[in-house]
Structure 1
Amino acid sequence: MQPVISFRDFSFRYKSQSSATLKNINLDIVRGEKIWIAGPSGSGKSTLAHCINGLIPFSYGGEITGELYVNGKDSSSQDIFERSKSVGTILQNPDAQFVGQTVGEDVAFQMENEATPQAEMKTAVFSALDLVGMLDYEGQGPHDLSGGQKQSVSLAGVLSTKADILLFDEPLANLDPASGVKAMRLIEEIHQAGGKTVIIIEHRVEDVLQEPIDRIVVMNEGEIAAIGTPDDLLAGGTLASFGLRQPIYLDAMAYAGLSLQGLSNLRTPEGILGTLDKGKLEVWMDSVESPQEQRDGDVLLELRDVTYAYDAGRDVVRQVSLSIGAGETIALLGGNGAGKSTLSGIITGLFKPRIGEVRLWGESINNWSIRRRGTEIGYVMQNPNHMITQHMIWDEVGLGLTARGFSPTEREERSDEVLKICGLYPYRNWPVSALSFGQKKRLSIASILALSPKLMILDEPTAGQDYRHYTEFMDFIAELSNQGMAFLFITHDMHLALEYADRAVVMAEGGVIAADTVANVLSNSEVTSKARLRETSLARFARAWGLSSPSRFVQAFIDYEQKGKTSHE
């Protein structure tokens, strides 16, 4: 069978770089395959995708050697318009793709460019929207939708073009766990029903593997480092060897001394085929002791029965009470629209509560200005593009320091320190525009970190980060926490909550529905379902294999990993 995509000794060097970003790529993708392209940041994943969809060389210039064939045609003979008929691309930021005033107009955009007859176009638009469950929103503005709905509209847009290759670039980046599960299931249904060739680039390993994948292509330093089925690469520990996070239930099995030999279908905790030594798992679970010491720091921030409404009569935050101690890390969890970001706006002073009180070090700050609160409370938005104002990286980090009157020497010392902490020091003299989304995220965090707040609110701090950068950054956050800085993580990343949070506070429909240890929260299927979260794969594994206490199994994993980190310090 002729491959639908074929790279032959293919290399690419960006115009502004001295060395190649892609090197000696040889890859055949067969029609109807579902491929996951994995790899750390900077490995060449996105560049490979841009070569497939035509953004290279038509938007990003450079030097190409070797050959690339798409649908049997030499890519050098195709223009970007012709390529778009074969390859439909869904970006990690759906807002960047919207061009229509309504959902229907946006889905119809390419067909309008191709002068498709109106009756045929309407049928195709309605069919695509119905397939992704968005037909009822056909007349609504796309920018008014939730993150999951926007992603569905983007998917409908490429479906309506009849492209036979679908390329997904970080499709789960802005989705809560429940929406992420739904998105991956929808992609699989479209793959099966339409015989599409599907290529996925995504950091959220367990979410990608929840649905079938034919092959995983691992990129590293611009080259293809490994290709194989999920079982081949998971059993051999290939993902971990290239700095990627493998499913955490496989880590737990390794900690308990269980071999993966003789097991198959490893991509989901419930689907593993073979015989597991349940007794060995129980013994390990009961043997792990907690290395954590109880925090007894003073209460830094306290919310008392806080209620807020954007419009009269509709409270989006309802009677929320919580406290954060000095040096404590709390994961604020919940689905899109649960009220998490609004609550952070109340804490920072952006919104004034209709009822209730916000206290800092025991003092009411309801009447404090945003500027005054900013001396004690730092806030980093989910989208770094909403925060960054300077053209150069070093200027962005130093902006707040300049506004607060720091001397040039102090400004330079602090800026250099946080750039090193956030892995951006080598790029300090680069323009911001040269950074990836994940790097911009780290830059926005560095800018606030330089101001040394007592409490940092981080909205999706690990979005777009590969596992290595995620771990380096979060380990540093843990060090700051040990020194007394408190952190509130607003996150959809259950791994972050498991590994780095002291407690989890869960919101749904504007109220707090649970506040407990992370292990207890993420092992409670009733709470996770109501909050549009996803029960951790550790609890699902424990339940599927009949272990005595799923929550105890989750806590054992947390304690074991914490003990390992402590022993390496």
Structure 2
Amino acid sequence: MGVKGEVLSGILHCGRPPPSPWIPYGCGPSRPPMALHGGLPAPIHTTDFEPWLEALRRGGIAMIEFEDLSFRYRRGEGPALKNVNLRIDDGEFVVVAGASRSGKTTLCRCINGLIPHFYGGTMEGRVRVQGLDTRFTSPSRLALKVGMVFQDPENQMVTTEVSSEVAFGLENIALPRDVMGRRIVEALDAVEAQPLRYRRIDELSGGEKQKIALASVLAFQPEIIVLDEPTSELDPVSAEEILHILERLNSELGLTIILVEQRLERVLSYADRLILMEGGEVAADGHPRRVLMEAELPRLGVRMPPVSALTKRMGLPIALTVKEARLLIDRAGVKPKPSGNPISTGPPGDAGNQRRCMALLEDVYYSYPGGAQALKGVSITVYEGELLTVMGRTGCGKTTLLKHLNGLLKPSRGRVIVDGLDTRRVDQGTLARLSGYLFQNPNLHLLADTVEEEIALTLRSRGLKGDELRKALEETLERFGIAHLRDRYPRYLSGGERQWIAFASVAAGDPKLLLLDEPTRGMDELLKSRLIGYVKEFTGRGGTAVMATHDVELAASAAGRIILLSDGEVVASGERRNILSKALFFSPQMNRLFTSLSDRGFPPDVLTLDEALKVIS
């Protein structure tokens, strides 16, 4: 059975469950907040692993071992990984986070053998996967043990139909037809995608494609699954579906999960362990509660989950979920401030009608050739100087709406007016000079061999030449903080950096209207803050921005007016507090907490940490 099995057996048969990392009790005025650790009272800030959990780790089977690993890409300016020493045991659920260029993706590539066999460079130290040294083990053999799911599912899809996509890898290892058929069914069942078996790939939503990518990996029956930001393009509902599947694979089948993720509020409730990367090194490693308590997250470019930040600021144990935060606040006897609700509601949703109309969609319908209707009777006014945020499930029509605003698509019915011009009656070049469009995929923007030339392409399109061009180029590189990247090949940069370079190239065009499709995808907290800061400055100068996003926390802190789409129709429109408060899925973590506390006198429309701190006594 081994030490791990014996400890588990002892826990299950002694009639007592293992103690929780913290159990709040007696949080009244006569007794200080305490936590129970192994049956003994301890200070509430004690966040170390329990002895039973440490025993499990020490007795576990090592699945992955990094030993003094350093790696430098062939064209890299410095090492992508430096002296990494890690051990990941059988059945662990590990979350990896960190800023752009911290080494997260490189770490993943080392596990499945893409480094050193595919990505060239200099490698020191070693990685062992189930005892196999990846330096001397082929990627094809490692693929039977390690499944890799990328950020963009389309990057790993090679066929046009779901069942053939799941079968593709199995055909390459020459499995018998009957075994292959069983594995296809089992893999699709595991990700709850059996109804999609005979669907075309191009008909699937982003969440459905991610499920098929995961099923294609599971068909190999690996013991380790590595996922590089698999929910970054997904709406909250689709992201939860993927995470629930991963949790079930981990808890019921015992698969080892290594998940790279920027939005910690989505994933920490599932994690046994949190690893934070910085500059290619492991900056922190341990139980999520302990890491959140001790690590300097802002310096590492990582956003602490709102409820974790709130309970930490209140001197309570760090909560990882809304439920934990609610119990802690309730049992600690925390009360709302007696002054009522100090939260400013901001301007009403139609306050913009005092400003000039920058863009108008009037009863717009649109259908893709041979497809269903993507927009159905959409009527929206976009005002000069505002940031309008568009939200909704994957495939609801957000991107289609944005493409109508720069003339890439023309309405089947209705009309679209941009800066007084009917998009059906004006050439594409005129609309391109008015608007700047940031695609979801930054690679669609990156055409040049260097970052400097990428920005220069946009500046030349504005007619700049000679000294004027050189001056504008230097100003743009400095303004966006990318002068140190000027000679780098854009596609060799990290995902967040590529997104930032793409945004800088769009903004350099000096458009009147910015159209941003998931602009913060793959960005760390530092880059995300800089992007939103620029957008607010842009709208403050009279520019107009329309942003489609799945990031509810971003919308809660930055959005002005929000449009909510569903199946191509506008189902809600108004000021962000009216749209996000009490929403079933599109509500920020802090709002879900305070909605559940409203019967204790707390306002139910709190959206952010700053607002929460204003209403707590």
Q: TM-score, normalised by structure 2?
A: 0.83
**Does the aligned pair in 2 maintain the 1:252–1:557 contact within 8 Å?**
no
The 3 A distance-change label for structure 1 pair 363 and 284 is: farther
Report deviation, 1:292.
Answer: 8.2
SS of 2:573 mapped into structure 1: strand
Alignment of 1:56 onto 2:112: no
Report deviation, 1:10.
Answer: 2.1
Partner of 1:39: 98
Greater Cα shift, 226-235 or 139-148: 139-148
**Does the aligned pair in 2 maintain the 1:288–1:556 contact within 8 Å?**
no
Report deviation, 1:502.
Answer: 1.1
Partner of 2:497: 439
Could you tell me how far apart the structure 2 residues matched to 1:363 and 1:278 are? 59
Report deviation, 1:27.
Answer: 1.1
SS of 2:529 mapped into structure 1: helix
Kindly provide the amino acid, as one letter, of the partner of residue 393 in structure 1: V
Q: Which structure has the larger Rg?
A: 2
**Does the aligned pair in 2 maintain the 1:168–1:201 contact within 8 Å?**
yes
Task: In structure 1, list runs of 5 or more residues that go unmatched.
Answer: 562-569
Could you tell me how far apart the structure 2 residues matched to 1:549 and 1:85 are? 52
**Does the aligned pair in 1 maintain the 2:387–2:546 contact within 8 Å?**
yes
Residue 402 of structure 2 is aligned with which of 344, 354, 360? 344
**Does the aligned pair in 2 maintain the 1:519–1:555 contact within 8 Å?**
no
Partner of 2:278: 220
Alignment root-mean-square deviation, CA: 2.6
The 3 A distance-change label for structure 1 pair 161 and 170 is: same
**Does the aligned pair in 2 maintain the 1:498–1:558 contact within 8 Å?**
no
- Equivalent positions of 1:302-321 (< 5 A) are 302-310=360-368, 315-321=373-379
The 3 A distance-change label for structure 1 pair 80 and 311 is: closer
Partner of 2:391: 333
- Equivalent positions of 1:124-523 (< 5 A) are 124-209=183-268, 211-236=269-294, 238-252=296-310, 258-260=314-316, 263=317, 266-272=319-325, 273-276=327-330, 279-283=334-338, 286-288=341-343, 297-310=355-368, 315-362=373-420, 364-523=422-581
Could you tell me how far apart the structure 2 residues matched to 1:402 and 1:292 are? 39
Listed one character per residue, the Cα deviations across residues 301-350 of structure 1 (whole Å, up to 9, x for unaligned) are 22222222335995421222222222111111111121111111221112
Greater Cα shift, 316-325 or 192-201: 316-325
**Does the aligned pair in 1 maintain the 2:387–2:560 contact within 8 Å?**
yes
Greater Cα shift, 197-206 or 430-439: 430-439
Kindly provide the amino acid, as one letter, of the partner of residue 528 in structure 2: Y
Kindly provide the amino acid, as one letter, of the partner of residue 72 in structure 2: R
Kindly provide the amino acid, as one letter, of the partner of residue 128 in structure 1: A
Could you tell me how far apart the structure 2 residues matched to 1:290 and 1:507 are? 23
Kindly provide the amino acid, as one letter, of the partner of residue 488 in structure 1: V
The 3 A distance-change label for structure 1 pair 409 and 496 is: farther
The 3 A distance-change label for structure 1 pair 61 and 283 is: farther
Alignment of 1:543 onto 2:595: yes
Partner of 1:565: none
The 3 A distance-change label for structure 1 pair 77 and 119 is: same
**Does the aligned pair in 2 maintain the 1:34–1:215 contact within 8 Å?**
yes
Could you tell me how far apart the structure 2 residues matched to 1:467 and 1:178 are? 22
**Does the aligned pair in 2 maintain the 1:253–1:281 contact within 8 Å?**
no
The 3 A distance-change label for structure 1 pair 291 and 356 is: closer
The 3 A distance-change label for structure 1 pair 282 and 186 is: farther
**Does the aligned pair in 2 maintain the 1:10–1:67 contact within 8 Å?**
yes
The 3 A distance-change label for structure 1 pair 373 and 538 is: same
**Does the aligned pair in 1 maintain the 2:170–2:220 contact within 8 Å?**
yes
Alignment of 1:107 onto 2:160: no
SS of 1:168 mapped into structure 2: strand
The 3 A distance-change label for structure 1 pair 19 and 309 is: closer
Task: After the TM superposition, list the runs of 4 or more consecutive aligned residues in structure 1 that deviate by more than 6 angstroms.
Answer: 290-295
The 3 A distance-change label for structure 1 pair 389 and 10 is: closer
The 3 A distance-change label for structure 1 pair 108 and 284 is: farther
Report deviation, 1:252.
Answer: 4.5
Kindly provide the amino acid, as one letter, of the partner of residue 123 in structure 2: I
Kindly provide the amino acid, as one letter, of the partner of residue 322 in structure 2: P
SS of 1:239 mapped into structure 2: coil
**Does the aligned pair in 2 maintain the 1:331–1:504 contact within 8 Å?**
yes
Report deviation, 1:239.
Answer: 3.1
The 3 A distance-change label for structure 1 pair 304 and 472 is: same
Partner of 1:116: 175
Q: TM-score, normalised by structure 1?
A: 0.90
The 3 A distance-change label for structure 1 pair 228 and 334 is: same
- Equivalent positions of 1:547-566 (< 5 A) are 547-548=600-601, 551-554=604-607, 557=610
Could you tell me how far apart the structure 2 residues matched to 1:550 and 1:155 are? 41
Kindly provide the amino acid, as one letter, of the partner of residue 269 in structure 1: V
The 3 A distance-change label for structure 1 pair 253 and 518 is: farther
Greater Cα shift, 13-22 or 475-484: 13-22
Listed one character per residue, the Cα deviations across residues 107-165 of structure 1 (whole Å, up to 9, x for unaligned) are 12232222211101111111111221222322333243211111111111111101101
Kindly provide the amino acid, as one letter, of the partner of residue 113 in structure 1: N
**Does the aligned pair in 1 maintain the 2:70–2:84 contact within 8 Å?**
yes
Kindly provide the amino acid, as one letter, of the partner of residue 203 in structure 2: D
Listed one character per residue, the Cα deviations across residues 174-230 of structure 1 (whole Å, up to 9, x for unaligned) are 211110111111111111221101000111211112x42100011111111111112
Could you tell me how far apart the structure 2 residues matched to 1:50 and 1:283 are? 54
**Does the aligned pair in 1 maintain the 2:308–2:320 contact within 8 Å?**
no
SS of 1:516 mapped into structure 2: strand
Could you tell me how far apart the structure 2 residues matched to 1:35 and 1:147 are? 24
Partner of 1:13: 72
Could you tell me how far apart the structure 1 residues matched to 2:390 and 2:160 are? 34
SS of 1:4 mapped into structure 2: strand
- Equivalent positions of 1:517-532 (< 5 A) are 517-525=575-583, 529=584
Report deviation, 1:359.
Answer: 2.9
SS of 1:534 mapped into structure 2: coil
Greater Cα shift, 31-40 or 546-555: 546-555
Report deviation, 1:465.
Answer: 0.3
SS of 2:400 mapped into structure 1: helix
Report deviation, 1:288.
Answer: 4.7
Could you tell me how far apart the structure 1 residues matched to 2:144 and 2:603 are? 48
**Does the aligned pair in 1 maintain the 2:347–2:575 contact within 8 Å?**
no
**Does the aligned pair in 2 maintain the 1:327–1:482 contact within 8 Å?**
yes
Equivalent pairs, count: 549
**Does the aligned pair in 1 maintain the 2:590–2:612 contact within 8 Å?**
no
Kindly provide the amino acid, as one letter, of the partner of residue 553 in structure 1: V
SS of 1:89 mapped into structure 2: strand
